[in-house]
Chain A
């Protein structure tokens, strides 16, 4: 099973700040890494697919990078509505696995 480890687990940030969340895979997964945003009492929403591909309707301040074992989700100029938990997800091999999540709090 491929283990995904996110860092940090929690981050408190101010609006307009730049945020970086990392996801490390226990073995190489190429670009088969996706990012989701989950707000309280809502279902997850796809933000980035295949490490860096943008999703229609997602604000351009969200971007992704990386390949192999190390991946990054970047949020430029954070807005209050970005308060949420962010998860990475690998689709390289079964079982499908998710990172433990990174909770972003807006100060």
Chain B
């Protein structure tokens, strides 16, 4: 079964850091580009970041540029999101999703909740 499973969410104070992980299974992870998409409580979807299959191409939304870092380890079938200088407005469920920027996102994880609050 094709599956993405996020982990690493939790409660963090403003200015703090958190590292999210996304474990892939059921497909050849190293052949696919990946994304992080977030959803604030009761709100819509917001694309956060993209990484190509070889990590050679990376994009960020302006709202997280300079604070978040996307990476992957194809040997471990894992995607990561390092989040620094967290703000209240980063509070959201974070999903990993499979797909290139010009493609649809065909597989989504179940999400991990990040709460930024003092």
Contact = CB atoms under 8 A, between A and B. Distances in A.
Nearest to A99: B44
B105 interface: yes
B106 to A, nearest CB: 5
Most interface-central of B59, B100, B102 (chain A CB within 10 A): B102
B104 interface: yes
B32 to A, nearest CB: 14
B102 A98 contact: no
A101 B101 CA distance: 20
Contact of B101 (A43, A94, A98): A94
A95 B105 contact: no
Interface in B44-73: 44-47, 50, 59, 61-62
A42 B105 CA distance: 15
B101 A89 contact: no
B109 interface: yes
Contact of B59 (A89, A94, A100): A94
Nearest to A85: B44
Nearest to A6: B44
A43 B59 contact: no
Interface of B: 35, 44-47, 50, 59, 61-62, 95, 97, 99-106, 108-111
Interface of A: 32, 34, 36, 42-46, 49-50, 55, 87, 89, 91-92, 94-101
